[in-house]
Amino acid sequence: MEMCGPNIVSTTGDAWRRQRSIVAPLINEKISSATWDETRAQVEMMLNAYTKAGPTGTTSSVLGLKQIAFNVLGAVGYGKPQEWVDVALPATDTRGNDFLDVLRNLADHIVIAAMIPAKVLLSPVMPRFVRDVGTSLIAFPKHADTLVAEERQSRSTSNNLMSTIVKLVDEAKGDSKTYLSKEEISGNLFLFTLAGYDTTANTMGFALVLLAIYPEWQKWLQEEIDQVAQGNHEYSVSYPQLKRTLAFMFETLRVCTPLLHALRESAFADTLVCAQGLSHPIPADTELLLSFTVLHCSPIYWGEDAADFKPDRWLKEDGSRWNEPLTKGTFMPWSFGPRNCPGMKMSQVEFVSAFYTILRHCTIEPVLQDGESLDQARHRLNGILRDSLPLITLQMQRPEEVRLRWTRRG
Please give the annotated binding residues for heme, written as ranges.
341
Residue with smaller CB distance to ligand HEM, 1 or 130 = 1
Based on the shown chain and the rule CB under 6 A, indicate whether residue 195 belongs to the binding site for ligand HEM.
yes
Among 84, 192, 302, 331, binds ligand HEM (CB under 6 A): 192
Distance separating alpha carbons of residues 200 and 194, to the nearest angstrom: 10
Q: How many residues bind ligand HEM (CB under 6 A)?
A: 23
As measured in angstroms, the least distance from the Cβ of 335 to ligand HEM is 4
As measured in angstroms, the least distance from the Cβ of 160 to ligand HEM is 12
Of 191-199, 222-230, 307-315, 365-373, which part binds ligand HEM (CB under 6 A)? 191-199
Contact status, residue 169 vs residue 362, Cβ threshold 8 Å: no
Based on the shown chain and the rule CB under 6 A, indicate whether residue 352 belongs to the binding site for ligand HEM.
no
Residue with smaller CB distance to ligand HEM, 105 or 257 = 257
Based on the shown chain and the rule CB under 6 A, indicate whether residue 347 belongs to the binding site for ligand HEM.
yes
Based on the shown chain and the rule CB under 6 A, indicate whether residue 8 belongs to the binding site for ligand HEM.
yes
Based on the shown chain and the rule CB under 6 A, indicate whether residue 200 belongs to the binding site for ligand HEM.
yes
As measured in angstroms, the least distance from the Cβ of 365 to ligand HEM is 25
Q: Which residue in the shown chain puts its C-beta closest to ligand HEM?
A: 343
Map the footprint of ligand HEM across residues 359-378, applying CB under 6 A. Answer: none
Based on the shown chain and the rule CB under 6 A, indicate whether residue 20 belongs to the binding site for ligand HEM.
yes
Distance separating alpha carbons of residues 302 and 331, to the nearest angstrom: 10
Contact status, residue 45 vs residue 130, Cβ threshold 8 Å: no
As measured in angstroms, the least distance from the Cβ of 196 to ligand HEM is 3
Based on the shown chain and the rule CB under 6 A, indicate whether residue 339 belongs to the binding site for ligand HEM.
yes
Based on the shown chain and the rule CB under 6 A, indicate whether residue 186 belongs to the binding site for ligand HEM.
no
Based on the shown chain and the rule CB under 6 A, indicate whether residue 357 belongs to the binding site for ligand HEM.
no
- Feature table: binding site: 341
Based on the shown chain and the rule CB under 6 A, indicate whether residue 191 belongs to the binding site for ligand HEM.
yes
Q: Going residue by residue from 26 to 45, which x/- string records binding to ligand HEM, judged by CB under 6 A? A: -x------------------
Among 5, 205, 325, 342, binds ligand HEM (CB under 6 A): 342
As measured in angstroms, the least distance from the Cβ of 330 to ligand HEM is 15
Based on the shown chain and the rule CB under 6 A, indicate whether residue 10 belongs to the binding site for ligand HEM.
no
Among 42, 203, 238, 363, binds ligand HEM (CB under 6 A): 203
SS (H, E, C) the chain: CCCCCCCCCCCCHHHHHHHHHHHHHHCCHHHHHHHHHHHHHHHHHHHHHHHHHHHHCECCHHHHHHHHHHHHHHHHHHCCCCCCCCCCCCCCCCCCCCHHHHHHHHHHCHHHHHHCCHHHHCCCCCCHHHHHHHHHHHHHHHHHHHHHHHHHHHCCCCCCHHHHHHHHHHHHCCCCCCCCCHHHHHHHHHHHHHHHHHHHHHHHHHHHHHHHHCHHHHHHHHHHHHHHCCCCCCHHHHHHHCHHHHHHHHHHHHHCCCCCEEEEECCCCEEEECCCCCEEEECCCCEEEEEHHHHHHCHHHHCCCCCCCCHHHHECCCCCCECCCCCCCCCCCCCCHHHCCCCHHHHHHHHHHHHHHHHHHEEEEECCCCCCCHHHHHHHHHHHHHCEEEECEEEECCHHHCCEEEEECC
Map the footprint of ligand HEM across residues 253-312, applying CB under 6 A. Answer: 258-259, 262
Based on the shown chain and the rule CB under 6 A, indicate whether residue 206 belongs to the binding site for ligand HEM.
no
Of 143-151, 235-243, 272-280, 343-351, which part binds ligand HEM (CB under 6 A)? 343-351
Residue with smaller CB distance to ligand HEM, 8 or 107 = 8
List Cβ neighbours of 192 (8 Å cut-off, separation of 6 or more).
Answer: 23, 73, 77, 161, 343
| Site residues for ligand HEM per CB under 6 A | 8-9, 20, 27, 191-192, 195-196, 199-200, 203, 258-259, 262, 333-335, 339, 341-343, 346-347
